[in-house]
Amino acid sequence: MVQVIKKGLETSVQDYPGRIGTLNQGFPASGPMDSWSFRLANILVGNKPGDAALECQFMGPTLKFIDDRTIAITGADMSPKIDGKSVPLWESIEVKANQVLELEFATIGARSYIAFAGGINSKPWLGSRSTFHKAGVGGIDGKAIENNQIIPLGKNRKIQVNNVMKISFIALFLIFASLNVTYSYIQLKVLSSDEPFISIQNELERIQRNVPLETVGAEMDEIAAVLSKEPNIENSYVGGTLAFDAYLESNRIFFSYTEKPQDDTIENYITRENWTYYDRHYSNLHSWPLDRYDKSNNLPDYFIYPPHENHNEFLNKLTDPTNPEIPSNFEFLYKGSRGTMVYKILDSNDKRS
């Protein structure tokens, strides 16, 4: 088994080819985005190619091993380390009990895969262990892995990789890497700008207004540390984007800060009363617990606001805690090192009843 120390940005259980034949019931296949890297990781640890493994997006997790285990890490380069020492991609690795595996930000590629000998032994749903977040099914409790969670694994296998196998995997890696880099380059050129492609991390930093990702993560850590001291935070609802989800131990209500109407008030915006059907539906599907049928109508106990010129203008009032137009039940809690504002919303539980 493996214990989750830090869950990463979004790390989920997937298998290949996923949940086939259920689209007519409203459930897509899910499964890994980079199926080649995923299957190669499984082969390296002696699993069947489609066995359940972890898919890590952009920033990987930190895992502590409860027992000895053979693993393989493929896909994006997230600078994997075991007990602080770098370990290679695309190879079988023997990990001992109590050792800690740490993955960082992706420098080449977007998604990394961790396969464990014996596979992940989570409960299948409709024939697959793949996580489908929006419906809350598959994986472990229907969502990405959480801090302190135990990932159940199958029986370990001892793997011996000979030189022929190593050469074969190197050749396959070069082929697939060429295809993946080409695809990533074209996709990012379309989605971003005419700036030359350097790496996924470079593109994310550009999107984050040229702020290094380590700086963004540091501020999220600050905010998480502040909120973790709040009473009953694990049962509270925090309003904000998905970017903060990897750092907070709470329920969430999703806000993109651009929902319509754009001339709303802060009070009405928090309740989502005047939102368009699309914006409200999108928020419900990205909140946790998700509210597919729009019945819960939960209100945030805390609200995280990162100022940005593209956000609804009325929300920028929150950048100045002394602004008299901020609702009286908004208690200023913290200002992050990058200017992100954190407010506690008083009496939100009373408003729900």
Selected residue with higher pLDDT from 237 and 245 = 237
pLDDT band at residue 244 under the 50/70/90 scheme: low
How large is the average pLDDT for residues 299-318? 90
What is each CA distance from 310 to 37, 51, 204, 257, 316, in whole angstroms? 36, 42, 17, 9, 10
> Residue 214, class by beta-carbon neighbours within 10 Å (0-12 exposed, 13-18 middle, 19+ buried)?
exposed
Is the confidence at residue 245, as pLDDT, over 80? no
Mean of all residue pLDDT scores within the chain: 82
Selected residue with higher pLDDT from 216 and 64 = 64
Number of C-alpha atoms within 13 angstroms, CB side, residue 227? Answer: 32
Selected residue with higher pLDDT from 25 and 273 = 273
Q: Is 162 in a helix, a strand, or coil?
A: coil
Residue 177 confidence (pLDDT): 56
DSSP state letter for 19: S
Residue 169 confidence (pLDDT): 58
Residue 191 confidence (pLDDT): 44
Residue 193 confidence (pLDDT): 45
| Residue in 291, 285, 266 with CA at minimum distance from that of residue 341 | 266
Is the confidence at residue 214, as pLDDT, over 70? no
Please tell me the least confidently modeled range out of 95-99, 199-203, 213-217, 229-233. Answer: 199-203
- Sorted by where each begins, the domain ranges of the chain are 2-165, 213-352
Q: Position 49: which residue type?
A: P
**What is the spatial distance between Cα 58 and Cα 205, in angstroms, rounded to a whole number?**
12
Query: If you count them, how many residues does the chain have?
Result: 353
Number of Cβ within a 10 Å radius of residue 321: 14
Question: Using one digit for the tens of pLDDT, what is the confidence trace for 163-172?
Answer: 445 545 555 5
Question: Using one digit for the tens of pLDDT, what is the confidence trace for 7-23?
Answer: 998 999 999 988 888 77
**What is the spatial distance between Cα 28 and Cα 30, in angstroms, rounded to a whole number?**
6
Residue 196 confidence (pLDDT): 52
Q: pLDDT > 70: what percent of the chain?
A: 79
Residue with tokens 């380590």: 214
Q: Is 84 in a helix, a strand, or coil?
A: coil
Maximum distance among all Cα pairs of the chain, rounded to whole angstroms: 71
Residue 56 confidence (pLDDT): 95
Tokens standing for residue 262: 């754009």
Contact 96, 122 (CB under 8 A): no
Q: Is 128 in a helix, a strand, or coil?
A: strand
Residue 282 confidence (pLDDT): 83
